[in-house]
Amino acid sequence: MNDIKLWNICLQIYRDAYNKATPKANFNELVRTGEAMKDRFFMKYKLSKGEADKIINKYCKKYHINKLDKRRIEATVFLGCMPTF
């Protein structure tokens, strides 16, 4: 799968993760307002590791992602701005 498609899946994962995080947030709104550009903004939001894994698995299954691309997605979201555990 190409990088643009994988990135779009990562964005869907972020949207879902912030929707389920504590406190709940709209990821698109965080980006639109510039909040997501602030250093370590994601530290304000909490999500369990189990819930994060469920979200990632949901989208990998939905888009029939192979193991290598799943690892790329996991690395991208966990090293990116995924809510903290």
Average pLDDT of every residue of the chain: 96
Task: Please write the tens of the pLDDT for every residue from 17-58.
Answer: 999 999 999 999 999 999 999 999 999 999 999 999 999 999
Quote the pLDDT of residue 48. 97
Question: What percentage of the chain exceeds 70 in pLDDT?
Answer: 100
The answer to the question of residue 19 being in a domain is: yes
Question: How many domains is the chain built from?
Answer: 1
The answer to the question of residue 69 being in a domain is: yes
Q: How many Å apart are CA 45 and CA 17, to the nearest integer?
A: 10
**Could you list the residue range(s) of the whole structural domain that residue 59 is in?**
14-79
Quote the pLDDT of residue 1. 80
Quote the pLDDT of residue 62. 97
The answer to the question of residue 28 being in a domain is: yes
